[in-house]
Chains A and B, each alone.
Chain A
Amino acid sequence: MYKSFLYKIITLLKIQYSNMLEYRVEIALWAVSGIIPFFMLNIWTNNGLNESLNISNIMLSRYFISAFFVRQFSVVWVVFTFEEDALLGKISPYLIQPLHPFFRYFAQHIAEQITRFPFALLIAFIFFILNPGSFWIPNLKTALLAGLATFLSFLIQFLMQSIIATICFWTEKASSIEKLLFIPTLFLSGLLAPVESFPEFVKTWVYFTPFPYLINFPANLLSGNTTNISSGIFIQIIWVFIFFGVFSKTWKSGTKKFTAMGI
């Protein structure tokens, strides 16, 4: 049974990868649209904002390029696909298949990330040509740990969005809730400014939310800025479990609520 499950996953990945290759230009453009961290870096260094933070220009540029990478490989869009499938009634056939429909979406995301990888590398290459001083190669251990942290960040976001997606069973238009959730993700995750630079009254509570563990923690890890690795990964895993629990609950009650198109 375990073997057939693995076979299913690999087949799914293969199909989705060839699907995604068709959308190369789309994905390349999407990679380009993630360059906001570089604009932020420009504001930070150009105005000397990092001086009072004790982060050198080089470490800050490494932070923002790492944030760019983490964001590239943790972008989630399951709610939009799911909403379309739910509105058009496409999920009915998926529901009767002996495979959880979210595995399909999960495979889509992984395939999209593989397609995106060369484009992200290309953007990083251009970044390092423009900023040769900030070039560095993380050692293998750091790279692997950062990869793990990025994957966990992706899992957290995938589960969060899947929970919102299941709200489609009740309202049909869940993407506006996703847009609402995107705001704290944007401002509190560390994509635009390192969480370390936040004012104290925000820092006291922000670490109790999942947001700093989405970009800030993996980016700090990858760029070699100081961070507590084991506790960071531990907290990420806790969030994965929490959201997985919530997701299974909403999925169960949602599918009971679901009435297929035309019935």
Chain B
Amino acid sequence: MNIRKYFKIYTLFINTSFGIEMEYKINIFIDLITALLGLIGSVFLLSIFFDNASSIGGWSFEQALIIQGIYTILNGVTNTWFSPNLTEIVKYIREGTLDFVLIKPIDSQFWISLKRISPSGLIEIGLGLLVLIYCLNINEIKISLSLMVLFAMTIICSISILYSLWFLISTTTIWFVKTWNATEVLRSFLYIGRFPLNSFSISLRVFFSTVIPITFITTIPSELILGIAPIWKIILEIVVSYIFLMISRKFWKYALRFYSSASS
């Protein structure tokens, strides 16, 4: 694998996607308002919960806000990269254009996963970061270099897990063809990542730490910021994200063996 070549191709991807998106400038503005209202809405929902209880699953309002910030960042990442690219797989397979991807002299997973970028998601990432900085302030957390490094590491792991989940589900379209809504199911499950995992009942907690590891995605990075994440959890997150990435890669290679082009 030639990293320089891939880097060059990726900058080309970014250029073309920005070119496309700039044709719809008003859309970006509307998306900004949508992201802002979405954040206000979830803080509003959280405030309703805390109107009726002083803590939820052992988290105070100020602490739970950290989870909202991280969720917003990750949602922004999803909307910038995963959602515009991976929902296209269905189209490639239905119209048979996956052939054109496969014959290109670059890695097909790279091409499919990173071809497009939607800048409005970047706004959401920015919003999430602002919330996070605000949370650091109200929770009186001192920023140290080690915290930053560890946080960056867990966030990268979270993004890897999230990506793998999206990619695994999108890959199943090779067999089922019409599954636009499969990603919607994932989205609705991910929705619970907005809340501390401890606020759910035991059965849901088990489900969301094993089958769909949402706990690893938002809860562990938040615990890390609060300084309550034990070291084994962080190591576990790294291991889990590695496993997920490997599975998604293997699964793609495996699925491609079953791909018979549109007319055959």
Contact = CB atoms under 8 A, between A and B. Distances in A.
A43 B37 contact: no
Contact of B34 (A35, A179, A187): A179
B178 A25 contact: yes
* Majority SS at the chain B contact face: helix
Interface residues of A, number: 38
A175 B64 CA distance: 31
B64 to A, nearest CB: 11
A228 interface: no
A52 B52 contact: yes
Contacts of B47: 199
Interface string B14-39: 00000000001011001101100110
Contacts of B200: 39, 42-43, 46
B195 interface: yes
Interface string B129-149: 000000000000000000000
B184 A30 contact: yes
B185 A29 contact: yes
Contact-residue bracket for chain B: 35 or more
A53 B52 contact: yes
A177 interface: yes
B204 A25 contact: no
B9 interface: no
Nearest to A171: B26
B185 A32 contact: yes
A176 B48 contact: no
13 contacts: A26-B180, A27-B181, A29-B182, A46-B200, A49-B49, A49-B53, A51-B52, A52-B51, A171-B26, A176-B24, A183-B38, A197-B52, A199-B51
Of all A-B residue pairs in the complex, the 9 with the closest CB atoms, nearest first, are A187-B41, A29-B181, A33-B184, A49-B52, A183-B37, A33-B188, A30-B181, A33-B185, A180-B34
Interface of A: 23, 25-27, 29-30, 32-36, 39, 42-43, 46-53, 171, 173, 176-177, 179-180, 183-184, 186-187, 192-193, 197-199, 202
